[in-house]
Structures are given as structure tokens and as C-alpha cells.
């Protein structure tokens, strides 16, 4: 499919696929704090730090794809990665059941939704189901650690064509601008828009109907 399998001696590159990697899931309002005297769950801002305090942090094993650009993957102290999860989990959409519907979903939905990038199944990589890159979830791993364990953690890499689309998708996601398409509507048009696509806030020159 759209993957290739670099030798373990090849350096880390943007588009490399890793699994499993630890991602922290922290709630600053519920930090598990251990001291010699007790265990308690308190807010981060209320922790009185000293050498005897240990904070437990939940870790989740996840798929990750390198987001860091190639010019930094050999020298940056940390590597940034986007989390990968099942297509259904990332998109939160009802997935098609027929091949004809899948064609439309893959070619249209993935183009319209900038926050995710589609990845097809591949047993060699380890994708047992359709997956997606979630551009909203970014985490970091020390570069040295990834390099030390690359033979077991790196599962593959996007091929040239897929990588070019991936790179452009990253750029598109991060250069989006806010666009309030209803700004030029009349009061009547705004109320019609708001009833079908809202709720949205009117601009100062628009009045919300009652």
C-alpha cells in the first residue's frame, strides 16, 4: 500500500510510524501525589513540591507518526509526533459499509476535514483496521530514546506519494484562518443560516431573530 520499511540504520524522518509509544493523559485538577505520609489526589497548583513528593502520571500506549521536520529529526532533543488511532475514533463519523461509499469517504471526507489524515490497513505495519492521524493530538519523545529503540518501535514509514500528501495536510491544518461565512448576510438571511447551521453569534450589523 502506501508504506515502506526503512532499515533500522536509517535516521528518523518525518512520516515515520512508531508503536507503542507512551502518551501522558494528565488532568491538572486531579494529580495523584504520593508522600511518605499519605497518598492524595489534588490540583497541580496546590502541590507543595519537595524531594519527597512523587506524582503518578497515567500513560497510554499509542501509535505515533513523526511530525518534526527532517532538518530537526537528527538534532532536536525531542521528536514531536501526532497520535494515530482508529478511523472511527478519530473522525467520530459513521463509517461506510459498501465499497462505493468508501471511495467517496476517502476521497471527499478526508479532503474536507483538515484535522485528520487517512491511513489504510496494512498487516505488515500493524494496522489491523483503517486508521487516521489526529492532528489535534501532539506528544513528544526524547530523540535519543527513539534512536536507541528504533529497531523495535519503528513499524514503517509513509512512501513518497503518501508523505507528500501528509506534509501538505500538516501545512493546511496549521495555516487555517478563522472564517465566519455568515458575516455578509442580511438579518433575514442570518436568521435562516442560524436556524440551519447555528447557533452562531451575529455581528454588530446583524440582528438575531426572536
Low-confidence ranges of the chain (pLDDT < 50): 210
Would you state the pLDDT for residue 200? 86
Please state the pTM of the whole predicted model.
0.82
Would you state the pLDDT for residue 210? 46
Q: Assign residue 20 a region: left if phi > 0, alpha if psi is -120 to 50, beta otherwise? A: beta
Would you state the pLDDT for residue 16? 99
Full domain range(s) for residue 136:
3-176
In this structure, are 9 and 49 located in the same domain? yes
Classify residue 39 as exposed, middle or buried by CB count within 10 Å of its CB (0-12, 13-18, 19+). Answer: exposed
Would you state the pLDDT for residue 70? 96
**Within its chain, how far is the Cα of 42 from the centroid?**
28
82-98 pLDDT, tens per residue? 999 999 999 999 999 99
Would you state the pLDDT for residue 83? 99
Is the Cβ–Cβ distance between 143 and 76 less than 8 Å? yes
In this structure, are 155 and 112 located in the same domain? yes
Q: Assign residue 15 a region: left if phi > 0, alpha if psi is -120 to 50, beta otherwise? A: left
In this structure, are 118 and 201 located in the same domain? no
Would you state the pLDDT for residue 52? 82
174-205 pLDDT, tens per residue? 887 667 888 889 988 988 888 888 888 898 88
In this structure, are 64 and 41 located in the same domain? yes
Amino acid at each position: 500500500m502506501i508504506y515502506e520499511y526503512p532499515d533500522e540504520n536509517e535516521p528518523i524522518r518525518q512520516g515515520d510510524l512508531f508503536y507503542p509509544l507512551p502518551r501522558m493523559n494528565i488532568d491538572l485538577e486531579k494529580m495523584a501525589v504520593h508522600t511518605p505520609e499519605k497518598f492524595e489526589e489534588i490540583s497541580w497548583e496546590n502541590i507543595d513540591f519537595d524531594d519527597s513528593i512523587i506524582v503518578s502520571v497515567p500513560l497510554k500506549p499509542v501509535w505515533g507518526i513523526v511530525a518534526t521536520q527532517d532538518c530537526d529529526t537528527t538534532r532536536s532533543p525531542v521528536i514531536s509526533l501526532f497520535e494515530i488511532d482508529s478511523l472511527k475514533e478519530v473522525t467520530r463519523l459513521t463509517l461506510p459499509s459498501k465499497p462505493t461509499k468508501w471511495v467517496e469517504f476517502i476521497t471527499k471526507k478526508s479532503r474536507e476535514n483538515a484535522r485528520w489524515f487517512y491511513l489504510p490497513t496494512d498487516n505488515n505495519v500493524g494496522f489491523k483496521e483503517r486508521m487516521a492521524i489526529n492532528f489535534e493530538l501532539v506528544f513528544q519523545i526524547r530523540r535519543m530514546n527513539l534512536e536507541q529503540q528504533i529497531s523495535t518501535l519503528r513499524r514503517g514509514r509513509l512512501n513518497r506519494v503518501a508523505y507528500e500528501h501528509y506534509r501538505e495536510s500538516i501545512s493546511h491544518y496549521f495555516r487555517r484562518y478563522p472564517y465566519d461565512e455568515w458575516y455578509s448576510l442580511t438579518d433575514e438571511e442570518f436568521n435562516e443560516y442560524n436556524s440551519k447551521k447555528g447557533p452562531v453569534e451575529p455581528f454588530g450589523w446583524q440582528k438575531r431573530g426572536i
